[in-house]
Amino acid sequence: MNSGYIIRPAKDEEIGQIAQLCIASWTRTYLGIVSDWNPNIDKHEVEKLFSLRLKDPEKTMLAAVLNNGEVAGVIMAQPEDELPQVPFVTSLHVKKIFQGKGIGKALLMKVARHFTERGLYKLALSVIKGNERARRIYLHLGAKEIKFKLHTQKPIAMEHLLLWEDSRILLKTDTDSANIPIP
């Protein structure tokens, strides 16, 4: 093992860290962008939701875990009603101190590999309007914007729907970056 991290299926004992990471990321990202954003999210409710998600065989949750057991990032994906046979990334979050180190890209690559091994080559996600940094990163990685729509669940906001017609392009963007050392 190296001094970096591994990406693997999330474990039940990591749900608390994952919930805390996601709440911090949502608050940092949505506060000021989404008018009805409520920063007072109940961590225990998020933990319950993520625990159920982790047990659902239709849903995928991968974690980037440092050698010391700290969760540095997480990605969640599942089938989407709107786009049949297209896995949909519902969450991709990296702790602020680890952003810009390739962890988000490695998580996206790993989930793309997970689905291509199952014969599913398309991959979709949405980005809340105003989160231009994330949108630019995904476009740079080969996603195409296919729709601009209203996100009807809380928080209610406009969002960009992005799609990789062939997510194998993500596998060609870098060598195996799932074990990059973190300084």
Sign of CA pseudo-dihedral 115, 5, 143, 153: positive
Query: Is the model's pLDDT at 11 over the cut of 90?
Result: yes
Query: Is the model's pLDDT at 175 over the cut of 70?
Result: no
Q: What is the rounded CA–CA span in Å between residue 96 and residue 178?
A: 18
Q: What is the mean pLDDT of residues 1-8?
A: 74
Cβ–Cβ < 8 Å for 176, 167:
no
Cβ–Cβ < 8 Å for 97, 106:
no
Domains held by the chain: number? 1
Average pLDDT, the chain: 85
Greatest mean pLDDT range, 35-49, 122-136, 138-152, 163-177: 122-136
Percent of the chain with pLDDT over 90: 62
Q: What is the mean pLDDT of residues 78-105?
A: 90
Give pTM, 2 decimals.
0.86
Q: Which residues form the domain of 64?
A: 5-179
Residue 150, φ and ψ in degrees, nearest 5 = -85, 125
Q: What is the rounded CA–CA span in Å between residue 151 and residue 140?
A: 23
Tell me the pLDDT band of 180, cut-offs 50, 70 and 90: very low
């004992």: which residue's tokens?
13
Query: Is the model's pLDDT at 49 over the cut of 60?
Result: yes
- Assign 3-class secondary structure to 117-175: CCCCCCEEEEEECCCHHHHHHHHHCCCEEEEEEEECCCCCEEEEEEEECCCHHHHCCCC
Q: What is the pLDDT of residue 73?
A: 98
Which among 67, 151, 72, 129 has a CA at the least distance from the CA of 105? 72
Q: What is the mean pLDDT of residues 89-100?
A: 94
Per-residue pLDDT of 110-155, as tens digits, reads 999 999 999 999 999 989 888 888 999 999 999 999 877 655 555 5
Stretch (H or E) spanning 28? helix 15-30
Q: What is the pLDDT of residue 151?
A: 55
Q: What is the pLDDT of residue 30?
A: 78
Query: What's the CATH code of the domain at 147?
Result: 3.40.630.30
Residue 103, φ and ψ in degrees, nearest 5 = -70, -45
Tell me the pLDDT band of 162, cut-offs 50, 70 and 90: very high
Q: What is the pLDDT of residue 79?
A: 83
Q: What is the pLDDT of residue 149?
A: 64
